Amino acid sequence: FNFGKLELEQLREKWKNFPLCMKIQYENLQKNHHLKHFSRFQLGLFLKGIGLSLTNALELWKSEFIKIMSEEQFIKEHVYYFKHLYGVVGAKINYRPYNCEKIQSQGVGHGQIHGCPFKHSDNHMLAARLAKDSVSNDEIEFILALKKEKDYNKACTRYLECVHSCQIGEDTVINHPNDYFEKACQADVV
């Protein structure tokens, strides 16, 4: 992963290339100006993995959080958390972005939005979200059938192909959100 290379302006342009699991977190951050712990961890590590530096990450989270709290409160209650995520304080663990297996294995309780939508969302919610991204009805049916077969990664790969008008290849499936992002960005420049 390329740490420290993605500027905030680029992020604001490229978030539409996020996989659905991260798009949902990012959209909710923009809408509610806050995310719960597991969502923050999932999205925060993904952003670190696609190259957002700690300085830019703090700027991003602060710009949303201070819409519902003071800057002093953000500094007091949240800055340490994000520094911890980047491994510069506390035990200084260099957390790696979660892969799909890890994201799909998490428990997602009522009112929580982290996890993999191809596994954790109900069919109705997932179909509505796919339609919002202009996925056709036939493709939605195909993706829901893959979900029913518990083939979540293949469903995600098909979503990528639909949204970015590309072919990933018969034998290739997305198994990491950061890989999804890279492939979506590549598809956009072809």
Q: Which residues bind ligand SF4 (CB under 6 A)?
A: 19-21, 100, 103-104, 116-118, 152-153, 156, 174, 177, 180
CB of 40 to ligand SF4, least distance (A): 16
CB of 158 to ligand SF4, least distance (A): 10
Q: Where are the alpha helices (DSSP H) in 133-176?
A: 137-148, 152-163
CB of 77 to ligand SF4, least distance (A): 28
Assigned token pair, 42: 């999932």
Nearer to ligand SF4, 43 or 58 (CB): 43
CB of 142 to ligand SF4, least distance (A): 15
Helix and strand tally (H, E) in the chain? 12, 0
Nearer to ligand SF4, 63 or 112 (CB): 112
**How many whole angstroms separate alpha carbon 76 and alpha carbon 72?**
6
CB of 173 to ligand SF4, least distance (A): 8
Assign 6 to helix, strand or coil.
strand
**How many whole angstroms separate alpha carbon 53 and alpha carbon 66?**
20
CB of 12 to ligand SF4, least distance (A): 20
Q: Which of 16, 44, 21 is nearest to 120 (CA)?
A: 21
**How many whole angstroms separate alpha carbon 90 and alpha carbon 105?**
26
Nearer to ligand SF4, 60 or 108 (CB): 108
Nearer to ligand SF4, 7 or 101 (CB): 101
Nearer to ligand SF4, 63 or 106 (CB): 106
Nearer to ligand SF4, 19 or 51 (CB): 19
* Distance between start and end Cα atoms, the chain: 22
Q: Which of 184, 183, 181 is nearest to 49 (CA)?
A: 181
